[in-house]
Structure 1
Amino acid sequence: MIKSIFNKKYFLLLLISLMILISAVSAYEDNSTDDTGCEIKSETALDEYDVDTYSNDDKNLKSASKQTYYVNNKNFNNYFDDDGVINTKKVANQSTIILNDTFKDKTFYLGDISVTLSGVKDKTVLYNSSLLIETTSVKISNITINNTNDEIEKAIFVDANKAVIDNCKVIVNSTNDAYGIFVYGNNTKITNNVISVVGPSDEINWETDVAKTLSLVVLSNNNTITNNTISVYSSVEKANPGTIEAVSLQGDFQGRTSVNNTFSNNRIIANGDSYVYGLNLGNTVDNTIIENNNIQVQGGYFGDCLQIFSTVSNTTINNNTIVGLSYNLADGIVISKDNMQGKTENNNITNNRINITGNVTNLIEIYRATNTLIENNTISSISNIAGGIVATGENTTIRNNYVKLNATSSNSTPISYKSSNKASITDNEVQSNCDYSVELSDSRNVNVTDNILNSKTKGDGSVSYTNKKNIVKNNSASRIIETRTTTNAIKARIYDNITLTAKVTSTDGSKINNGYVIFKVNNQSLKDKNNTLVKAYVKNSQANIKYTVDKSWNKDNISIVAVYSGSGNILSSKSDAMKINVSKRDATVSMICGKNVVQGGDTVSLTAIVMDASKSVNGGQIIFKLNGQTIKDKNGKVIILDVKNGYATTSYTFDNGLSSKNCTITAVYSNSVYNRAEGTCAVFIDKSRPQIIASSIKTKTNVTRISAKIVEINGKAIRGTTQVAIKVNGQTFAVVAAVNGIINTTIKTSFKTGHYKLKIVAGENYRYFANTWEGFIEKE
């Protein structure tokens, strides 16, 4: 009996196994069947052009693994029902749905399985449609939603954890309640989106505690919101006053929190006629990071750029740029103004830039707070009544902020710390037209030191306080600016026109536009020709002045120092000594000779032209040299000429009896300002043609004396020895040497009475050409 039962059970199990196997094979075969307008791929790259055409029969009812689906209007109903719910029989969990079309009046309900819903760039637009996310790990990307239907309240609604909304564009224009993205889920990432909402300025929705027109609402924890452009505008006024908000992050007092959120690198624009908020944080919003955002708010009655209206702890507001404008009330950063319950502690407000314009303005406010740091903020406002930094509480640090208020009412305060205990207010700068810079009414144990306080009252006198437990000291009307002065080494020539340059920089990087620089050369201050101190005035941290290099700088071990005078709160300073290297100038000398071919005894003009580039030189002296030998006057003194207007001229007479040769005449220029310079000209000294001076002779003797002279053309005897031949009637009777032009010799005249031709021939040598004289001898 037992065996029979066992056999029946075995047969039944075998039959069930066989049926499961057949079903699996059938499902596998169905997966290969075409489906209208749909392409299914397993984890492959997406390409909209890969879409194939399939039959209308929907046989792909089972999916074993995640897939990629392209969906258009034709096959929409294959994947979504009439309510927009995903067909989970057709779409596998963790699959990707590509909306490859433009859709109108659709609702996409993502509530049963986790999917990625993506669009095609520049193609996928959802008109008057909405996305509802009610399951975890859904990702929305590359989709544009453009809604003008007043009946659609929320374009994207997230009520599940770990959603991702990336690179989408959400545009809403409505006259009813209007929300771009509304988030209840935790761990949501909203990145790289454009969210723009135009909606009514209306009263608050007290059920959710948020405005009825909001671009982004986050009512949850651990969310990341970064790199988005978020804007909100009012379309109609439904309440007076009404409210619109760009971004709201908040919890409530019934247990819902909005903590550990990061809001960074976003741009917010909010513009309306009544109450307008840029970034609004409500209850239970601890541990929030708000940094690197650009927030611009323009409100009619009230413009609030960044508000945390209730208690908050461990929140960082860092490096944001905030601009606000309102004809009535305008705030920059406001924390714990309502302080409904809980503690406000351990919050940091740092490195922000805030500019607010309105009737009543507050730049940074934080109330009833403990352990607050307000540091390195640059804030300013133009208003009737203004508050710069307004804080109350205990253990507050206000450090290194720049506060500038332009307020028409004396009921304004750049830094206010009233009815509080323990604070350090140091290293801040206040510039205002208020009565006081710091108000400490009813506060104690406050240290106000080392600030620049410049209001109607100055320095320590600009702190209003009565409690003697407060310390007020070392506050000044202007900050002391240390400077550093530098100048450059000089390399120039005597009398060069140069620019002396100094650079005066401040330790805080600000430009210096006051004071002047003097220059000292070897500790002697430079002066002009009127003996007036030379000053170079500083502009944009530069000081420059033209100066002519003095010849006294042409020496070793000389240096220049630039000395900055300082001005007011700007301290003086001087540069290091920089080396001066000044050399003599270079001149060019041109030499002009009156003749280029001369003979002994000739007088020649010699002219030297001295130039410095294209300018004639004045001063200095010229001497001349003939073949390296200095030319002297007749008294043996060196001829020295002064150079005037670039010229030096003299006359020179060459000696008699100069040998024939090529010569060089050199003009040598010297000056304490210039390097030695020379110019030359070439002269050829030719032989002279002398004259023989003699007389005809009468003689009775057989020996007759012949006396004659050989002279230069100027009548002076020639130099050296010259061979002379004495001829009578063509016959040579004597050959003698004439020394220094003197001929004195005898010849035999034992010939008959009568007239005989007498000829004296002076031979040619290296100084003189040959010459002859003819006369007669009469023998009686």
Structure 2
Amino acid sequence: MNSKLPRYNGGITGNTIISSSNSTIGILLKECRNLSVTKSNKINITGPNIIGILLDQTRNMSINGTIMSLSGEKITLIKLENTNQTNITSNTMESITKDKKIAPVQLNNAEETNIYNNSIITTSEYAINIDAKSSKSIITSNKLYASNIGDNAVSKQSNNKVEIFENIPEEALNYYLNEETYNQFFDEKGQLRDNVPNKYNIILAGNLYNKTLNITHAINITSEGITSLINSTLIINANYTNITNINIQGENTKIIINANNTNIDLGTISAATTKSQNRTIITILGNRNKIQVNSISGDEENTQTSNITAFEVKGKQNNIKIKSIYLRYFNNSTGVLLNNAKQNMINISASIRSSNLIILNNSNENRIMLNASNIYSNGIILTNSSNNMITATGNIINNNDDGCGKAIIIEENSNNNLFMGIGINMFTHFNTSPITIINSNNNTISNSNIEFKGNCYAIEIIGGENNTIEDSSLKSSTLSGDKAVYQYYNEESMGKNTLKNNNHSGAAYYTRITTRDIIKVGNTITLNSSCNYNFRDQKGYFTFYVNGKEIGTVEAQNSTTASINYTITGNEGDELLVDVVYAGRNYSRAVGYNSSSFAITRLDSNIILPTVVNNGKMTNITAIILGEDGNIIYDGKVAFKVDQKTVEVVKITNGIAQISLDTSKYKPGEHEIYLVYGGNNQYAKSNSTTTLTIKKYDVKIEVDPVVVCKGSKTILKATVNDMQNNQVNTGKVIFKLNGKTLKDDEGNTIISEVKNGIATIEYMIPSNYSAKDYILTAVASDDKYNRIEANSTLTVTKN
């Protein structure tokens, strides 16, 4: 598709150009002046000999805000031929080609070109090429990812006033990962190579296509937020791995987290697919991982026959934060699936649009927080799952489709679950009850607004007992209040469910939570809540929850506010999650719910670590960790490093962290000791350094006496220990008889290495030796310890 446009004045905006033809030019501007290719243009071309935008003999032109993706052979994103005064700014461009020598942006006889604030990702050697005839150009503040990066991604043949500066990323002490360097980091099976240092920083400096990244020891991978894993598999098998600011694309891309204590912070995930498949995008098998995703989405094309799950969680104590999930157009889609999962925190801050919102199978003690969502089949399904807390600050079903499925299903012995703040849009239509409890007990639904269209009950309880529905607004087209709850009893469970203070007016109100205090371990803070309902002369009650546990109820009389004190223990984790429900007691029985989270600051810690001088082969390194409150810390782990290499990680025992270091492995001189305290629930992590001075130390040596016949072989043995009786494992020993050093048949000194404190040689006693006692001397020496010798007796006997 070629677009040749008017010669003078105007703009090109809002176009989408898609082509797979040979020799295609997306936009061609020739002999034009004062034109702009401006925001909202999208160009996607595949094939050989293609150009995204070609400017030929133009003047005073601009290319701004265009999104461009080209793939094939001999491809160019932007080409300037004989141009003057061109601005190329704020474009996002990608080129995929095997032609490494062709830069995707080319300036040929281009004068006064300004290339600023663009993102260019390419598989070529350079991102921009400036020929010898081009002049007076500035290339600055761009993100340039090619085989070369930053300023080095610009190839310049011209020295005529061409300025190149402040393009990123800068060359630094990091590893740069792209198509060109992938094999340096990962082997043919996609496993991280052993020679990649532990915990090193790797920058994804270009998109990766059809790759496996199996992380087998802890590293950090990040990007500038514009690079992606495309049709690739990321497997994390190493604890404490960090993956941040990376995007995910492609129908085959998936992430498997089979490790603990990782930090995964992803940008956008594209779930689009062109084939029928069952797919889970992110699988979490490990524990205590922190995972944050900005958005997961799938387009509307060719997805109808696929079944997709955004998250599957099988571990425990993971903290998962998701902004939005949009998977409506798949055959069946699930936002989050918990299978045998325990004590996980799931926070969805924006909306989910999918067939199913949350499914829990055999999963207990999880906390799930929801915002407004659109569910097109079922919302929340609990099967044999207990002691979960699920809250919402918006309608979990928010669409107007006729005959929606279920908002909540609690079934198959799912007990002791708490639901608060659940909302259903009043214009949503249900043919059957939106909430069903089946053969499950002791569940509570409170402070919720279940209001909809349909001639059915709001809630049905079938075969369960001791379930409580309270302080909620319940209303269908025909039923309201307590009467909107259907109960099917058998003789044993007759009347054992509790319905109280459910209204029929739809009076749901906003509840706000604040505190002015410092949220720090050990502090007692005041939590304040207010409701935007006019109380007049009626009573109301605010019930406060912290991290899922009720801490108290405050009666509000003629007031719209309530306060309660809470002391932070440190067992809350990184966040103080506060839920407040309001229940009115007048005729309308107003209800309110909200939640807020506050970051918890731990107490500072300080490592007391003196300088260390070796004392023999083994040297103790001892540290004490103090809290800012002056107390000795008795809980946590400390990592000991010498010269930046971890030698041991130990638990604090009786207030002391200590290792015994084999200093014979280090050369004499000064070495750096670096300690890291990992923190605990009350105290923050900290680090400290000191100096290890290694001097030559004294050792002692013993020589075994020997009795041997002349003309026979014997074993000469020396034992070398330090002054604390630790076996020495370094150095060499020579032996002497009557002061004469023993040598082999070729006249070379016989030398024995000390291993595990022992040095031995085999020696033939010459047949001409006299039968008598000889002085047997062993001499040990090394650069780690002082020379030492000792004597014994070698007795030669007659044959």
Shorter-chain TM-score range: 0.3 to 0.5
TM-score computed with the length of structure 2 as normaliser: 0.39
* TM-score, with structure 1 as normaliser: 0.40
